[in-house]
A and B are shown apart, each in its own frame.
Chain A
Amino acid sequence: MTPTQTQQERIRPYLLGELSDAAREEIERELLINEELFEELLVTEAELTDEYIQSKLAADERTYFEQHFLATPERQQNLRFARALNRYVTNAGDRNILPVAVVPSFWSTRTFLFRTTAAIVAVIAIVAVGWLGLRQRTSAPGNFATLNLVIGVSERGKGTPPSAVKLPRDADGLRILLRVPDQSLPAVGYRVEVANESGQSKSYAASALEGQLISVVIPAAELKRGLNSVKVFAISASGKEQRLTGNGSFVVE
């Protein structure tokens, strides 16, 4: 049974001891009979623990958290686990294990003046995007066109044309589902490098789906018309990258 919006919104104040006796009883009764609401409670509990260790709770919430929330051994274990996870992910980010967007080949060939100017433009763009992002915080993931690609030995020499995709005017971007070849390296993530006809390339983090399928999203603003080629890199837990054999390509019309 899907919890109602009201029930979901009450979970956090319930966990922080902010509900009246009547509201608390109501939510507890529902928790006993509604499996999805109970899972929502567990998720919110973990999120509160993360907020506590990242010092994101308000002062009164923090006090309540320490005096009541941490009263049981189970929650004390949860706190220690959350600390370990937080530290691990932070360290992984510092060691660059986590895939992040990078622009390697393009920037290395530009002059200092060009890079400085571009940096200023980028800062302005980030501020603008951040402002727009704040305005659209509540919006759901947007409208994406989807393309299926197979990464393998190029078929272009055999006369097979690359897949073509036409991006609707209102699309937020392109979601590419890539079928990748088997790999010897167990991957914790993937990096997909997309290069356009001008030789500009950009990297994107990708998610593994089931089997040998991975998914990457390219924002519409970063897609160039014409032929685009795709390379895929598997990333191991130690941060080592392995280029997967073969290429993919597609044409943006």
Chain B
Amino acid sequence: MNKKWVLTQGEFDSLLNWLDPDPEQAGRKYEAIRTRLIKIFAIRGCREAEDIADETINRVTARVAEVAAEYSGDPALYFYGVAQKVLLEYGRKISGRLAHVSVDSASITLSIPAQVLAEDIEPEYQCLEHCLSQLAPANRGLVMRYYQQDKQAKIDHRKMLATELGIALNALRIRAHRIRQTLQRCVLDCLEQQPVN
């Protein structure tokens, strides 16, 4: 897997230029591609999703001079082609290392650490309380009301909330999720600052 490509600044600049002539836009596109590759690898069950995404990007970068001249279409799709090959290699590597684990092209099954399924979430809970207090009042109220209630009551409740805010249900769903992401980032930062037992 780790081919240890040695990339030069020139190659990396060429990659960014291929993504977009505007450096700022190129940086955004690069980040978007990397984030999405990581997510796709994670969905395929790769525990080392970040490493595999970086390996994919390194391989594309190493070839960018020849690819950019001939390739037409969205560069992100070229990354996808390379990603599939890298994923295949990763699958072979895993199946060699863990012979008892079944591996197919779709996903790689791995056991989950017991503590993940454990109920003790006190550190997260403490941090969440702190992070909720940091949110703007309107966002705090929205996220708490959006996630309250159950089943049919929840559906009706969310319709009512969407009407109050004057937005469609799906827009409310996305807005609540964005606040949730902000909260989660805050909780992760908070957890990192806590002393390790």
Residue of A nearest to B42 (CB): A72
Q: B163 and A144: CB pair below 8 A?
A: yes
Could you tell me the distance between the alpha carbons of A91 and B125 in the complex, rounded to whole angstroms? 11
Which of A78, A142, A205, A210 counts the most chain B CB atoms within 10 A? A205
Q: List the count of A-B residue pairs having beta carbons below 8 Å apart.
A: 179
Q: How far is the CA of A84 from the CA of B107 in the complex (A)?
A: 29
B42 touches A188 (CB 8 A): no
Complex CA gap A35/B117 in Å reads 31
A158 at the interface (CB under 8 A from B): no
A133–B156 CB distance below 8 A = yes
Binds A, one of B6-14, B19-27, B60-68, B137-145: B137-145
List chain A residues, Cβ under 8 A from B140.
188, 237
In the complex, the chain A residue whose C-beta lies closest to that of B149 is A93
In the complex, what residues of B have CB within 8 A of residue A68's CB?
A: 45, 107, 109
A residues within 8 Å of B by Cβ? 14-15, 17, 21, 24-25, 28-29, 31-33, 35, 38-39, 41-43, 46, 50, 54, 66-68, 70-81, 83-89, 92-93, 97-99, 130, 133-134, 137, 140-142, 144, 173, 175, 186-190, 205-210, 215-217, 237
Asked if B197 is at the interface of the complex by the 8 Å CB criterion, the answer is: no
> Can you show 16 pairs from A to B with CB atoms below 8 A apart?
A31-B40, A46-B177, A71-B47, A71-B109, A72-B46, A72-B47, A74-B42, A76-B113, A83-B121, A140-B169, A141-B163, A173-B163, A207-B138, A207-B145, A215-B166, A237-B132
Interfacial chain B residues near A78, Cβ < 8 Å: 184
Between B84, B125, B155, B162, the greatest number of chain A beta carbons within 10 A of the residue's beta carbon is seen for B125
CA distance A76 to B114 in the complex (A): 11
The answer to whether B36 touches A140, judged by C-beta atoms less than 8 angstroms apart, is no
Is B147 touching A86 in the complex (CB atoms < 8 A)? yes
Separation of A141 and B164 alpha carbons in the complex (Å) = 10
Extra contacts besides A77-B188, A133-B152 (14): CB < 8 Å? A15-B43, A32-B74, A39-B177, A42-B177, A54-B150, A74-B49, A81-B187, A84-B125, A85-B147, A133-B155, A140-B169, A186-B137, A207-B141, A209-B166
Q: Mark B133-173, 1 if CB is under 8 A from A, else 0.
A: 10001101110110111101001100111111110110001
- Which residues in B have their C-beta under 8 angstroms from that of A97? 144
Closest Cβ of chain B: how far from A8's Cβ, in Å?
9
Report whether B138 and A84 are in contact in the complex, using a CB–CB cutoff of 8 Å. Answer: no
Write the chain B residue with the least CB distance to A236: B137
Question: Cβ of B45: which chain A residues have Cβ within 8 Å of it?
Answer: 68, 71-72
What residues on B are CB-neighbors of A73 within 8 Å?
47
Enumerate B36-52 residues with CB–CB distance to A below 8 Å: 36-37, 39-40, 42-43, 45-47, 49
* Given A68-B109, A130-B152, A190-B141: A76 in contact with B116 (beta carbons within 8 A): yes
- Cα separation A85 to B45 with both chains bound (whole Å): 25
Q: Which residues of B contact A79 (CB under 8 A)?
A: 116
B125-A88 in contact (CB<8A): yes
A39 to B174, Cβ gap below 8 A? yes
B79 interface residue per 8 A CB criterion: yes
> What's the Cα separation between A162 and B161 when bound, in Å?
26
